[in-house]
A and B are shown apart, each in its own frame.
Chain A
Amino acid sequence: MNNDWLEYIYNNLHKESYLWARQCCLYNDDHANEVMQLAYLKLLEGKAKYTHKATLKTWFFSVIRFTAIDYLKGLTTHLSIDVEELVSENTHEEDTHDYIKTLNQLPERQYQVLLLVFYHNLKLHEVAEVLAISIGSVRTHYDRGKKKLKTLLAKEMVL
C-alpha cells in the first residue's frame, strides 16, 4: 500500500469517509467506527489496492461499502441480530431521526444513490463505481429516488 494514498485519505477524506461508513451502517456510530478501522486495515495490509481506474475518493467509498456489507452480514448471521434491531439502535436526537426516518422510507438503492449524489457530491458515473452497478441502473434509481423523496418531503411539509 502506497503510504501517500493512505496519508491523503487520512488527511483529506477521513471525515467524509466516516459519514459514508455511518450511512452504510444504518447510522450506527459504533458499527461505523469498526467498519472504518477494518477498511483502513485492508489498505495497510494490501488487501484493497488502488488501481487508478477511479478517483481515490470513489475507490475508498467502494471499499467502505463492501466492508460494511460484510461486517453487517457477520453481525446478523453470527449474532442473530435482525437488521431492524440495528436500525432501532440509532434513535439519537429527534432532529437526526427525522432525516434518517425519511430516507429509510426509500428503497436502499435509491437512498444510497441520492446520498452519494447530493450529500457526497459524486457524479452519476462515480456512483456507479461505488455501488458497482451500471450507469443505467444509477440513473433509474436516481430519477425514481428523487421523485419519491420529493413526495415524502411534500407530505412532511403538509403535516
Chain B
Amino acid sequence: MNNEDEIIEEFFQKMKEEDDRLIAFPLPLKRATQNWTPYAVAASILVLLVVNFMLSKTEPANANIIHISFEEQTVIETQSLLTNTSIEDWESPTQSLIADF
C-alpha cells in the first residue's frame, strides 16, 4: 500500500481502536458436554453387584435333608424311621405265662 492509503489506514485503525474500547465481545454459548462413560461404568458395576448379591442369597434348608456341619466338630444327624407292624404278628408279652398253667 502506498502513502496515498495512509489516511485510509489511519481511519480504519482508529475505528478498530474505538471498537476495542466500546464493544464487549460476547462469547458464543458453549454446549455443555459431559463424559458419561465413568457414570455408565459405575452404574454397570453397581448393577452387577446387586445381581450377584441377589443370586448368592441362601435358600431355607429342607427339613428332610441331612445337615452336616463341621462347626465345633459336632455332627447333627436327623433321621426318620418308618416301621410297619402287623397285628397278627403281635405277641402278648404274657402269652407264655398263660400257656404254662
Contact = CB atoms under 8 A, between A and B. Distances in A.
A92 B24 CA distance: 14
Interface string A5-23: 0000010001100110010
Nearest to B12: A118
Contacts of B7: 150, 153
A150 B8 contact: yes
Interface string A30-68: 000100110010001000000000000000000000000
A22 B23 contact: yes
Contact of A149 (B8, B23, B26): B8
B25 A92 contact: no
B28 A92 contact: no
B22 A18 contact: no
A14 B15 contact: no
Interface in B4-19: 4-5, 7-9, 11-12, 14-16, 18-19
A99 B18 contact: yes
Contacts of A129: none
Contacts of B31: 44
Contacts of B32: none
A44 B25 CA distance: 21
Given A14-B25, A18-B25, A19-B19, A146 B14 contact: no
A96 interface: yes
B29 interface: yes
Contact of B28 (A14, A114, A153): A14
Interface of B: 4-5, 7-9, 11-12, 14-16, 18-19, 22-23, 25-29, 31
